[in-house]
Amino acid sequence: MPEAASRRPQQRALETRNALLDTAIATFCTRGFDGISIRQLEEQAGVKRGLVAYHFGDKDQLWREAADRLFGELAEDFLARLDTLAEVAPAEAARGIVRAFVRFSAARPELNRMMMQESVAESWRVAYIVDEKIKPLIETLYEMMPAAAQLLWGDRDPHRYYLLVGAGAFVFTAEQECRRLFGIDPRAEDFVERHVDMVVNLLMGDRPRF
């Protein structure tokens, strides 16, 4: 069999898997884990019945891999940012971390939407996100940039943590409310840049520029 022909089934399988993951991210972030069935996921992804089981085994594993993709993107962005900030002063590094988080939240609001869906009740899913994703990222920050981490969160201060998450991400999570209430697109570049500045000012003690 020609090599190109042998690659076609593999490519179709990869496309199907990605379609299921994309659909899972979109639906789990807006409707929650219990808000959609496997059959509905397959229908929305435009794939044949039974392909969730074929590619992922079950709905739980599909959810894990959807979370892995979102938090993998965050981790990649976060670690790249830490590398670029390694040689700068702690205060500037802390500002850079805040800027990176706000910009990632604007680009990928699905991540915080998933957190909001899962954080209202105890479940294996919130434990997976916190224990396997968020805690390791925070520990990495404290290990790689302890002075900047102290400036940003002190000794892991929950108030400052949720100030960052709330101020930095919520407007993008509530994108449709913002559009309806203010008639603006919160993911537009000029809005994002202004929001970045205000969140940095809020968390780092600078005077806000209103």
For 54-86, the pLDDT digits (tens) are 999 999 999 999 999 999 999 999 999 888 998
Q: What is the pLDDT of residues 193-210, one digit of tens each?
A: 999 999 999 998 754 444
The helix/strand/coil state of 145 is coil
Q: How far is CA 17 from CA 11, 37, 62, 68, in A?
A: 10, 17, 10, 14
Q: At 10, give phi and psi (nearest 5°).
A: -65, -40
Stretch among 9-13, 105-109, 118-122 having the lowest mean pLDDT: 9-13
**Rounded CA separation 204/94 (Å):** 8
Query: Quick one: what percent of the chain has pLDDT higher than 90?
Result: 86
**Rounded CA separation 61/70 (Å):** 14
Domains along the chain with CATH numbers = 1-57 (1.10.10), 60-204 (1.10.357)
Q: Please give the mean pLDDT across all residues of the chain.
A: 92
